[in-house]
Amino acid sequence: MTSTSLQMRCPVCNGQSFQAGPQIFDDRYGQAHIFNLASCKNCRHLATAPRLSESDLPALYGTYYPRKAINAAQVAQEAAKILKPQAALRRWWNGTDNQGQYSVRAGQSMLDVGCGSGCSLLEAQALGAKAFGIEADPNVRPIAQALGLSIHFGSLQDEPFPGQRFDLIVMNQVIEHLPDPDQALRQLAQRLAPEGRLFLVMPNTESIWKRLSGTRWINWHIPYHQHHFNQRNFIRMAQACGLKMVRKRTITPNVWTVLQVRSMFSKPQLGMPSPIWAVSPPAAQDSAMNSGANPVKVIVRGVILTGIALVNRITDALGQGDSLLVELQSERVS
Ligand SMILES: [Zn+2]
Protein backbone atom coordinates (compact mmCIF):
# COMPACT_ATOMS: atom_id res chain seq x y z
CA MET A 1 0.00 0.00 0.00
CA THR A 2 2.68 2.50 1.01
CA SER A 3 4.41 2.28 -2.37
CA THR A 4 1.27 3.35 -4.27
CA SER A 5 2.17 6.19 -6.61
CA LEU A 6 -0.30 8.89 -7.72
CA GLN A 7 0.18 11.20 -10.69
CA MET A 8 -0.67 14.77 -9.66
CA ARG A 9 1.06 18.15 -10.09
CA CYS A 10 2.68 19.63 -6.99
CA PRO A 11 2.14 23.43 -6.76
CA VAL A 12 5.21 23.78 -4.51
CA CYS A 13 7.93 22.05 -6.55
CA ASN A 14 6.12 21.23 -9.82
CA GLY A 15 6.83 17.54 -9.21
CA GLN A 16 4.34 15.11 -10.79
CA SER A 17 4.34 12.18 -8.42
CA PHE A 18 2.74 11.75 -5.00
CA GLN A 19 2.89 8.87 -2.56
CA ALA A 20 -0.44 7.62 -1.24
CA GLY A 21 -1.01 8.19 2.48
CA PRO A 22 -3.92 7.63 4.89
CA GLN A 23 -7.43 7.26 3.55
CA ILE A 24 -9.70 10.04 4.70
CA PHE A 25 -13.24 11.24 4.04
CA ASP A 26 -15.60 14.16 4.62
CA ASP A 27 -16.33 13.91 8.36
CA ARG A 28 -18.40 17.11 8.39
CA TYR A 29 -20.97 17.21 5.62
CA GLY A 30 -21.22 13.60 4.45
CA GLN A 31 -19.75 13.64 0.94
CA ALA A 32 -19.56 9.88 0.36
CA HIS A 33 -16.15 9.37 -1.27
CA ILE A 34 -12.91 8.12 0.20
CA PHE A 35 -9.92 10.33 -0.57
CA ASN A 36 -6.23 10.00 0.08
CA LEU A 37 -3.91 12.28 2.00
CA ALA A 38 -0.96 12.07 -0.36
CA SER A 39 2.53 13.57 -0.09
CA CYS A 40 4.75 14.85 -2.89
CA LYS A 41 7.65 12.45 -3.44
CA ASN A 42 9.98 15.38 -3.99
CA CYS A 43 9.07 18.08 -1.40
CA ARG A 44 6.62 16.21 0.93
CA HIS A 45 3.83 18.75 0.27
CA LEU A 46 0.49 17.21 1.36
CA ALA A 47 -2.48 17.24 -0.99
CA THR A 48 -5.87 15.59 -1.32
CA ALA A 49 -6.00 12.87 -3.98
CA PRO A 50 -7.62 12.58 -6.42
CA ARG A 51 -7.48 16.31 -7.00
CA LEU A 52 -10.71 18.02 -7.96
CA SER A 53 -10.87 20.39 -10.90
CA GLU A 54 -12.38 23.90 -10.87
CA SER A 55 -15.39 22.50 -12.73
CA ASP A 56 -16.10 19.98 -9.92
CA LEU A 57 -16.38 22.68 -7.27
CA PRO A 58 -19.84 24.22 -7.90
CA ALA A 59 -21.55 20.82 -7.61
CA LEU A 60 -19.52 19.82 -4.53
CA TYR A 61 -20.16 23.05 -2.63
CA GLY A 62 -23.72 23.41 -3.91
CA THR A 63 -24.66 19.91 -2.71
CA TYR A 64 -22.80 19.57 0.59
CA TYR A 65 -21.53 22.87 1.93
CA PRO A 66 -24.07 24.43 4.28
CA ARG A 67 -24.58 28.17 4.19
CA LYS A 68 -25.75 30.03 7.23
CA ALA A 69 -29.04 31.78 6.67
CA ILE A 70 -27.86 35.32 7.26
CA ASN A 71 -29.26 38.71 6.37
CA ALA A 72 -27.79 42.16 5.85
CA ALA A 73 -28.77 43.38 9.33
CA GLN A 74 -26.89 40.49 11.00
CA VAL A 75 -23.78 41.11 8.88
CA ALA A 76 -23.84 44.83 9.76
CA GLN A 77 -24.31 44.01 13.45
CA GLU A 78 -21.34 41.61 13.41
CA ALA A 79 -19.11 44.11 11.59
CA ALA A 80 -19.99 46.92 14.04
CA LYS A 81 -18.18 45.00 16.80
CA ILE A 82 -14.90 46.23 15.32
CA LEU A 83 -15.56 49.69 16.78
CA LYS A 84 -16.39 48.46 20.30
CA PRO A 85 -13.93 49.17 23.14
CA GLN A 86 -11.22 46.51 23.47
CA ALA A 87 -12.27 44.89 20.17
CA ALA A 88 -8.66 43.98 19.32
CA LEU A 89 -8.10 42.50 22.79
CA ARG A 90 -11.27 40.41 22.49
CA ARG A 91 -10.17 39.11 19.08
CA TRP A 92 -6.76 38.21 20.52
CA TRP A 93 -8.31 36.32 23.46
CA ASN A 94 -10.85 34.51 21.28
CA GLY A 95 -8.28 33.76 18.55
CA THR A 96 -10.45 35.47 15.92
CA ASP A 97 -7.67 37.84 14.85
CA ASN A 98 -6.74 35.38 12.08
CA GLN A 99 -8.21 37.53 9.31
CA GLY A 100 -6.40 39.89 6.99
CA GLN A 101 -8.81 42.83 7.04
CA TYR A 102 -7.77 43.73 10.60
CA SER A 103 -4.38 44.88 9.31
CA VAL A 104 -5.80 47.36 6.76
CA ARG A 105 -5.07 51.05 7.34
CA ALA A 106 -7.16 54.16 6.69
CA GLY A 107 -6.98 55.36 3.10
CA GLN A 108 -5.87 51.99 1.70
CA SER A 109 -7.71 49.90 -0.87
CA MET A 110 -8.41 46.29 0.07
CA LEU A 111 -9.56 43.28 -1.96
CA ASP A 112 -10.93 40.23 -0.11
CA VAL A 113 -10.90 37.16 -2.37
CA GLY A 114 -13.64 34.80 -1.17
CA CYS A 115 -15.23 37.48 0.99
CA GLY A 116 -18.32 35.44 1.96
CA SER A 117 -21.08 37.54 3.52
CA GLY A 118 -19.05 40.74 3.08
CA CYS A 119 -18.53 41.30 6.82
CA SER A 120 -14.78 41.83 6.24
CA LEU A 121 -15.54 44.59 3.73
CA LEU A 122 -17.71 46.45 6.23
CA GLU A 123 -14.99 46.05 8.86
CA ALA A 124 -12.35 47.43 6.46
CA GLN A 125 -14.66 50.37 5.67
CA ALA A 126 -15.07 51.04 9.40
CA LEU A 127 -11.26 51.21 9.61
CA GLY A 128 -11.27 53.87 6.87
CA ALA A 129 -10.35 51.71 3.86
CA LYS A 130 -11.93 51.29 0.43
CA ALA A 131 -13.07 47.67 0.23
CA PHE A 132 -13.71 45.31 -2.68
CA GLY A 133 -14.60 41.63 -2.69
CA ILE A 134 -14.80 38.56 -4.92
CA GLU A 135 -17.30 35.83 -4.04
CA ALA A 136 -18.50 32.72 -5.90
CA ASP A 137 -21.73 32.25 -3.94
CA PRO A 138 -24.59 34.18 -5.61
CA ASN A 139 -26.69 33.88 -2.43
CA VAL A 140 -24.67 36.78 -1.02
CA ARG A 141 -25.89 39.12 -3.77
CA PRO A 142 -28.93 40.54 -1.87
CA ILE A 143 -26.72 41.27 1.16
CA ALA A 144 -24.17 43.06 -1.03
CA GLN A 145 -26.95 45.14 -2.58
CA ALA A 146 -28.55 46.01 0.77
CA LEU A 147 -25.20 47.09 2.26
CA GLY A 148 -23.88 48.78 -0.89
CA LEU A 149 -20.79 46.54 -1.04
CA SER A 150 -18.50 46.30 -4.10
CA ILE A 151 -18.51 42.54 -4.61
CA HIS A 152 -17.77 40.83 -7.91
CA PHE A 153 -19.77 37.58 -8.14
CA GLY A 154 -17.52 35.14 -9.96
CA SER A 155 -13.86 34.28 -9.71
CA LEU A 156 -10.42 35.80 -9.88
CA GLN A 157 -10.12 34.49 -13.45
CA ASP A 158 -12.74 37.05 -14.54
CA GLU A 159 -10.17 39.78 -13.74
CA PRO A 160 -12.73 41.95 -11.93
CA PHE A 161 -12.21 45.64 -11.05
CA PRO A 162 -10.03 46.26 -14.15
CA GLY A 163 -7.25 48.79 -13.72
CA GLN A 164 -7.59 48.75 -9.93
CA ARG A 165 -4.53 47.83 -7.84
CA PHE A 166 -4.80 47.07 -4.15
CA ASP A 167 -2.71 48.05 -1.11
CA LEU A 168 -3.92 44.91 0.67
CA ILE A 169 -5.24 41.68 -0.84
CA VAL A 170 -6.74 39.27 1.67
CA MET A 171 -7.52 35.56 1.38
CA ASN A 172 -9.00 34.22 4.62
CA GLN A 173 -9.09 30.39 4.59
CA VAL A 174 -9.40 30.19 0.80
CA ILE A 175 -6.03 29.27 -0.77
CA GLU A 176 -6.21 25.68 0.56
CA HIS A 177 -9.52 25.15 -1.28
CA LEU A 178 -8.05 25.92 -4.71
CA PRO A 179 -6.85 23.11 -7.02
CA ASP A 180 -4.05 25.40 -8.35
CA PRO A 181 -3.04 27.75 -5.52
CA ASP A 182 0.19 28.85 -7.23
CA GLN A 183 -1.74 30.16 -10.25
CA ALA A 184 -3.94 32.22 -7.92
CA LEU A 185 -0.86 33.70 -6.20
CA ARG A 186 0.61 34.74 -9.56
CA GLN A 187 -2.67 36.44 -10.53
CA LEU A 188 -2.93 38.22 -7.18
CA ALA A 189 0.68 39.42 -7.34
CA GLN A 190 -0.28 41.26 -10.55
CA ARG A 191 -3.03 43.14 -8.73
CA LEU A 192 -0.89 44.50 -5.88
CA ALA A 193 -0.15 48.24 -5.74
CA PRO A 194 3.56 49.13 -5.42
CA GLU A 195 4.49 48.12 -1.84
CA GLY A 196 1.12 46.35 -1.59
CA ARG A 197 0.76 43.35 0.72
CA LEU A 198 -0.89 40.00 0.25
CA PHE A 199 -2.30 38.58 3.50
CA LEU A 200 -3.15 34.87 3.48
CA VAL A 201 -4.56 32.67 6.21
CA MET A 202 -4.63 28.86 5.99
CA PRO A 203 -4.55 25.83 8.31
CA ASN A 204 -1.11 25.04 9.73
CA THR A 205 -0.17 21.37 9.28
CA GLU A 206 2.54 21.81 11.93
CA SER A 207 0.08 22.82 14.67
CA ILE A 208 -0.06 21.14 18.05
CA TRP A 209 -3.70 20.11 17.43
CA LYS A 210 -2.74 18.38 14.18
CA ARG A 211 0.00 16.47 16.03
CA LEU A 212 -2.43 15.43 18.75
CA SER A 213 -5.33 14.46 16.49
CA GLY A 214 -3.60 12.92 13.44
CA THR A 215 -6.11 12.01 10.72
CA ARG A 216 -8.92 13.32 12.98
CA TRP A 217 -7.62 16.91 12.70
CA ILE A 218 -10.64 19.06 11.78
CA ASN A 219 -8.60 21.15 9.36
CA TRP A 220 -7.93 18.36 6.88
CA HIS A 221 -11.51 19.18 5.88
CA ILE A 222 -11.39 16.81 2.94
CA PRO A 223 -12.30 17.04 0.06
CA TYR A 224 -12.93 20.81 0.33
CA HIS A 225 -9.27 21.43 1.23
CA GLN A 226 -7.18 20.38 -1.75
CA HIS A 227 -3.81 21.40 -0.29
CA HIS A 228 -2.37 21.20 3.22
CA PHE A 229 0.53 23.59 3.77
CA ASN A 230 3.34 23.86 6.24
CA GLN A 231 5.24 27.14 6.55
CA ARG A 232 8.28 26.00 4.60
CA ASN A 233 6.36 24.69 1.60
CA PHE A 234 3.95 27.61 1.46
CA ILE A 235 6.81 30.15 1.45
CA ARG A 236 8.66 28.11 -1.19
CA MET A 237 5.55 28.19 -3.43
CA ALA A 238 5.08 31.94 -2.86
CA GLN A 239 8.73 32.64 -3.77
CA ALA A 240 8.30 30.74 -7.04
CA CYS A 241 5.37 33.10 -7.75
CA GLY A 242 7.52 36.22 -7.28
CA LEU A 243 6.45 36.90 -3.68
CA LYS A 244 8.54 37.23 -0.56
CA MET A 245 7.51 36.76 3.03
CA VAL A 246 7.30 39.86 5.20
CA ARG A 247 5.77 38.40 8.37
CA LYS A 248 4.20 35.19 9.66
CA ARG A 249 2.47 34.01 12.82
CA THR A 250 -0.05 31.41 13.98
CA ILE A 251 -3.46 31.86 15.65
CA THR A 252 -5.93 29.28 16.97
CA PRO A 253 -9.59 30.34 17.16
CA ASN A 254 -10.95 29.00 20.47
CA VAL A 255 -14.09 27.78 18.71
CA TRP A 256 -11.91 25.52 16.51
CA THR A 257 -10.53 23.87 19.63
CA VAL A 258 -14.04 23.26 21.00
CA LEU A 259 -14.99 21.68 17.66
CA GLN A 260 -11.75 19.65 17.58
CA VAL A 261 -12.39 18.17 21.02
CA ARG A 262 -16.04 17.42 20.22
CA SER A 263 -14.99 15.89 16.90
CA MET A 264 -12.46 13.58 18.60
CA PHE A 265 -15.23 12.20 20.81
CA SER A 266 -17.52 11.58 17.82
CA LYS A 267 -17.53 8.66 15.41
CA PRO A 268 -17.74 9.93 11.83
CA GLN A 269 -19.39 7.69 9.25
CA LEU A 270 -18.86 7.78 5.52
CA GLY A 271 -21.70 9.58 3.75
CA MET A 272 -23.27 10.86 6.98
CA PRO A 273 -23.27 14.55 7.95
CA SER A 274 -21.97 15.11 11.50
CA PRO A 275 -24.30 16.87 13.97
CA ILE A 276 -21.27 18.79 15.29
CA TRP A 277 -21.08 20.72 12.02
CA ALA A 278 -24.80 21.24 11.45
CA VAL A 279 -25.59 24.88 10.86
CA SER A 280 -28.30 25.97 13.25
CA PRO A 281 -30.23 29.21 12.82
CA PRO A 282 -28.88 32.17 14.85
CA ALA A 283 -31.90 32.08 17.20
CA ALA A 284 -31.14 28.46 18.16
CA GLN A 285 -27.45 29.32 18.71
CA ASP A 286 -28.44 32.20 20.99
CA SER A 287 -30.71 30.03 23.09
CA ALA A 288 -28.00 27.35 23.32
CA MET A 289 -25.50 29.94 24.57
CA ASN A 290 -28.01 31.26 27.12
CA SER A 291 -29.17 27.88 28.42
CA GLY A 292 -27.29 28.82 31.57
CA ALA A 293 -30.10 28.72 34.09
CA ASN A 294 -27.94 26.20 35.96
CA PRO A 295 -25.13 28.25 37.60
CA VAL A 296 -22.83 25.22 38.05
CA LYS A 297 -22.94 24.56 34.31
CA VAL A 298 -22.16 28.21 33.60
CA ILE A 299 -19.10 28.14 35.90
CA VAL A 300 -17.79 24.81 34.51
CA ARG A 301 -18.21 26.07 30.97
CA GLY A 302 -16.40 29.33 31.84
CA VAL A 303 -13.45 27.48 33.39
CA ILE A 304 -13.11 25.15 30.37
CA LEU A 305 -13.27 28.03 27.87
CA THR A 306 -10.71 30.05 29.86
CA GLY A 307 -8.37 27.03 29.90
CA ILE A 308 -8.74 26.58 26.14
CA ALA A 309 -8.01 30.29 25.56
CA LEU A 310 -4.87 30.16 27.74
CA VAL A 311 -3.53 27.03 26.02
CA ASN A 312 -4.23 28.52 22.58
CA ARG A 313 -2.53 31.84 23.31
CA ILE A 314 0.57 30.00 24.51
CA THR A 315 0.71 27.61 21.52
CA ASP A 316 0.16 30.59 19.17
CA ALA A 317 3.12 32.39 20.74
CA LEU A 318 5.22 29.24 20.13
CA GLY A 319 4.24 29.19 16.42
CA GLN A 320 2.21 25.96 16.89
CA GLY A 321 -1.27 27.45 16.35
CA ASP A 322 -3.92 25.96 14.09
CA SER A 323 -4.05 28.69 11.46
CA LEU A 324 -1.04 30.16 9.71
CA LEU A 325 -1.02 33.86 8.73
CA VAL A 326 1.49 34.90 6.10
CA GLU A 327 2.06 38.41 4.82
CA LEU A 328 3.73 38.65 1.42
CA GLN A 329 5.06 41.37 -0.82
CA SER A 330 6.14 41.38 -4.45
CA GLU A 331 9.84 40.48 -4.95
CA ARG A 332 10.14 43.58 -7.11
CA VAL A 333 9.80 45.80 -4.02
CA SER A 334 13.20 46.28 -2.38
ZN1 LIG B 1 6.41 18.91 -4.38
Across all residues in the chain, what is the average pLDDT?
91
Q: Is the peptide bond before 85 cis (omega within 30 degrees of 0)?
A: no
Q: How confident is the model at residue 262 (pLDDT cuts 50, 70, 90)?
A: very high
Residue 211 Cα to ligand 1 midpoint, Å, equals: 22
Question: For the ranges 55-69, 261-275, 310-324, which has the lowest average pLDDT?
Answer: 55-69
Residue 43 Cα to ligand 1 midpoint, Å, equals: 4
Mean pLDDT within 51-73: 84
Say yes or no to pLDDT of 306 above 50: yes
Q: How confident is the model at residue 1 (pLDDT cuts 50, 70, 90)?
A: very low
Residue 49 Cα to ligand 1 midpoint, Å, equals: 14
pLDDT > 90: what percent of the chain?
Answer: 80
Q: How confident is the model at residue 295 (pLDDT cuts 50, 70, 90)?
A: confident
pTM of the model: 0.90
Say yes or no to pLDDT of 277 above 70: yes
Residue 4 Cα to ligand 1 midpoint, Å, equals: 16
> Could you report the per-residue pLDDT of 157-215, keeping only the tens digit for each?
899 999 999 999 999 999 999 999 999 999 999 999 999 999 999 999 999 999 999 99
Radius of gyration for the chain, computed over Cα atoms and rounded to the nearest angstrom: 20
Residue 21 Cα to ligand 1 midpoint, Å, equals: 15
- In this prediction, residue 289 carries a pLDDT of 52
**Cα torsion through 198, 201, 207, 212, rounded to 10:** -160
> Could you report the per-residue pLDDT of 132-160, keeping only the tens digit for each?
999 988 888 999 999 999 999 988 889 99
Residue 140 Cα to ligand 1 midpoint, Å, equals: 36
Residue 9 Cα to ligand 1 midpoint, Å, equals: 8
Residue 40 Cα to ligand 1 midpoint, Å, equals: 5
Residue 6 Cα to ligand 1 midpoint, Å, equals: 13
Question: For the ranges 49-58, 79-88, 236-245, which has the lowest average pLDDT?
Answer: 49-58
Inter-residue contact 231 to 201 (CB < 8 Å): no
- In this prediction, residue 280 carries a pLDDT of 62
Residue 171 Cα to ligand 1 midpoint, Å, equals: 22
> Could you report the per-residue pLDDT of 66-86, keeping only the tens digit for each?
776 789 999 999 999 999 999
Residue 234 Cα to ligand 1 midpoint, Å, equals: 11
Residue 290 Cα to ligand 1 midpoint, Å, equals: 48
Say yes or no to pLDDT of 232 above 50: yes
Alpha-carbon span 94 to 84, nearest angstrom: 15
Alpha-carbon span 106 to 109, nearest angstrom: 9
Residue 157 Cα to ligand 1 midpoint, Å, equals: 24
Say yes or no to pLDDT of 290 above 90: no
Residue 237 Cα to ligand 1 midpoint, Å, equals: 9
pLDDT > 70: what percent of the chain?
Answer: 94
Residue 16 Cα to ligand 1 midpoint, Å, equals: 8
Domains of the chain are 5-59+258-291 (no CATH), 64-252+311-330 (3.40.50.150)
